[in-house]
Amino acid sequence: MENVKVERLLINYKTLEEFKLFKEYGIQELSMLEDLQSNMIENDSESPFYGIYYGNSLVARMSLYTISKKYDQYFEPPQDYLELWKLEVLYDYRGKGLGKKLVDFAKSYNLPIKTNPRINSHGFWEKMNFQKVHYDVERDLGENPLIWLPEGVEEQDRN
């Protein structure tokens, strides 16, 4: 698996069927399926998902969304940043660096990244050089966000 490539996933019935293999299949995917069925979006529209194919099969994916500077409560100076979620590598394809490939792809935009990881994945995120934010209940509520800072960006001081 040397030549893995991260691709932006297209919304179509094949992609949505493949998504069912991932644990965090949920309302986001169902919403995409409904939009496709009701022609609210076209077949093969671009989705907020990026993934890695092995042959013809999707084996890893993440969702990535740009949050506008005006909503930035995390970074200094305030700026557009990426929200990363649903990072997942299918069980049989773990331990091959595919998760890192996806994270490196997100980092390649050179924007700060925020993620709200699942319990028990902190070791992975630490290796990816993500750090815990200084928790702020009004901003973070039930989240335990981790952030990645590109050069020249700091965490916002909320005190």
Residue with tokens 């949920």: 26
Please report whether residue 123 would count as binding a second copy according to CB under 8 A. no
List, in order, residues 6 or more apart from 61 with CB less than 8 Å away. 9, 19, 22, 49, 50, 51, 52, 86, 87, 88, 102
Of 135, 129, 120, 126, the C-alpha closest to 149 is 129
List, in order, residues 6 or more apart from 150 with CB less than 8 Å away. 107, 110, 111, 112
Please report whether residue 83 would count as binding a second copy according to CB under 8 A. yes
Our CB check for a second copy shows the closer of 2 and 27 to be 27
Angstrom distances, CA of residue 139 to CA of 47, 55, 65: 27, 42, 19
Our CB check for a second copy shows the closer of 4 and 149 to be 149
Q: Which stretch binds a second copy (CB under 8 A): 12-20, 52-60, 91-99, 129-137?
A: 129-137
Please report whether residue 2 would count as binding a second copy according to CB under 8 A. no
Please report whether residue 27 would count as binding a second copy according to CB under 8 A. yes
Our CB check for a second copy shows the closer of 58 and 67 to be 67
Please report whether residue 8 would count as binding a second copy according to CB under 8 A. no
List, in order, residues 6 or more apart from 53 with CB less than 8 Å away. 5, 7, 59
| Among 137, 151, 152, 157, interactor with a second copy by CB under 8 A | 137
Residue with tokens 């557009």: 80
Please report whether residue 13 would count as binding a second copy according to CB under 8 A. no
Residues near a second copy (CB under 8 A) are 24, 26-28, 30-31, 48, 63, 65, 83, 85-86, 116, 119, 132, 134-135, 137-138, 140-142, 144
